[in-house]
Structure 1
Amino acid sequence: MTTDTRPLAGKVALVAGGTRGGGRGIAVELGAAGATVYVSGRSSTGGRSDLDRPETIEQTAEQVTAAGGRGIPARTDHSRPDEVRALADRIAAEQDGRLDILVNSVWGGDPLTDWEHPLWEQDLDTGLRLLRQAVETHVITSRFALPLMVRRKTGLVVEVTDGNTARYRGTFFYDLAKSAVIRLAVAQAAELKPHGVAAVAVTPGFLRSEAMLEQFGVTEANWRDGVARDPNFAHSETPAYLGRAVAALAADPGIMAKTGRALATWGLYREYGFTDADGTQPDFAAHWAANLEEEYGPLGDPL
């Protein structure tokens, strides 16, 4: 491969929550761009997390390596500061203190999300657990990973979210979690800017994660069969699309111009020219504007 096809060769990344979905897509595409990628999460060959899904950090790490990078699985519960501190210390020891890219993609909130009831009818313990899982884990991870970037005066933090506008996301705790993650990017950007480190939030469109494919009763090979159930599914995108967006950001020498912003695959593909795995360029915002805005209103003002 030429240098142009491996713009992240020599770079070190940590993808927290890289077991599946968008996190896996990001990890693999960072690897395809040449990076060494630590893939962390709770689901490993040694045991499943409480989500009880089959995907593992080892599988993701193998895909990173197969794509051209170096994948390193690191079983970590990101809600436990001691485990995250140990992971940061491990990266520092193994990579001579280097960490160029931090991706906070921990989620695991799907089974905790109540889409049917307003706040006053929801189970409070479950809602607060969702916030701890989806927001506190990001804070803990940044607390121990950021010093590696600050010392070297360079790096990129990516907070993975859902949506890049102020639009309400359909249920209280989910909306609060995804909005809070954007504010994490804004706050980190403000504090990191004097140190030459950028922080952004990035959202996919309609993501065809493993769980979403299962929900539609399809596989990636025959995913278009799901369009009969929901026509909007025709405008969905693979985790690779999100991964290529993040890889493009990480390779951009002018990334500081974007620090503090909430970005989306549907805007970044226009700037960087990347495609989805099948060569298409899904644009869910354009689809929304043309087909859903009249019924549901605009996506909302940018955050």
Structure 2
Amino acid sequence: MKLHHLEALVSVADAGSIRAAARLLQLSQAAVTKALRELESEQQLALFVRTAGGVSFTDAGHRLLKHARLVIGQMERASEELAKLRGDQAGKLTIAVTPLVMVTFLAETVSLFRKQMPSIQLEIFEGLTAVALPRLREGALDFGILALAVALTDQEFDIEPLFGYEPRVMARRGHPSAGKHSLHDLLDQNWAVNFTPASYESLMQRMFWQHGAKIAPARLHGAHSYSLMLELVQYCDMLTWAPGPLLLTESMRDWAQALTLDEQFETRHVSVISLRNAMRSQAAKCFIDCLCKVIRTRSRSASEANRTLFDRLELLL
């Protein structure tokens, strides 16, 4: 199994077809096809199903793809480290950021990072579970700044807590359920939430089951971006379960409210999460250092906005 075989595999997965993968790799279709055939022949397994609409993966193909992404990701990081030793500063940092950090600390962090590493290209994904977790496991992210509903193990991930917060049930102001005081009175409402099949039980336990509340799956609507969640809550009368400090931010403070419920929810932690024992690039270390510096500086600020924010955060740095 050679590196160009794995690059062809990943490119087909990302591009959706051999023709598009060839453009991505700047190779001929024949070269990509040859690499894929060699890979299938070597492994003695069918990895793809070729259709008129493109290429789909068999179970074996999906399993190999996961490992291929990890290998290529580590090779890219190794190349970046060696380039730095040669004096080359170019590179790329791919991360996922949870919405709470996105609307509170991200802009300052990126500005500070760009001053220190101006030649590094950033690629930033929303750090919601359904978006971030698969990419994290595949090695497509250098790291994530996340608050995941699914339990993560120390054997699989390195987890560095930053701060904790209290989750709240939220609705638009004037929502018909605004006066309700129990989760059990909200089970007939529609909810905008974010989960994957793997995180579903963990999310339900945190939100409903621990309080003896059972909700029909048809009431749960997947919102896989922060902006989409806001739209569904503000304009479709859906409820959501989100970090309480979001109510202080520009995106929610003028129209959203937290419901005052008898049930309490356990504190959740926002952490820097990366694959266990993955090599962390200098760019990754720098970005994390910048984020920690911004959080610490804001936590010591005398401004009313920062004091109010950090009254609702449990600093874990």
TM-score, normalised relative to structure 2: 0.28
Larger Rg: 2
Structure with the bigger percentage of helix = 1
Structure with the bigger percentage of strand = 2
TM-score, normalised relative to structure 1: 0.28
Q: Which has the higher contact order (CA 8 A, sep 6+)?
A: 2
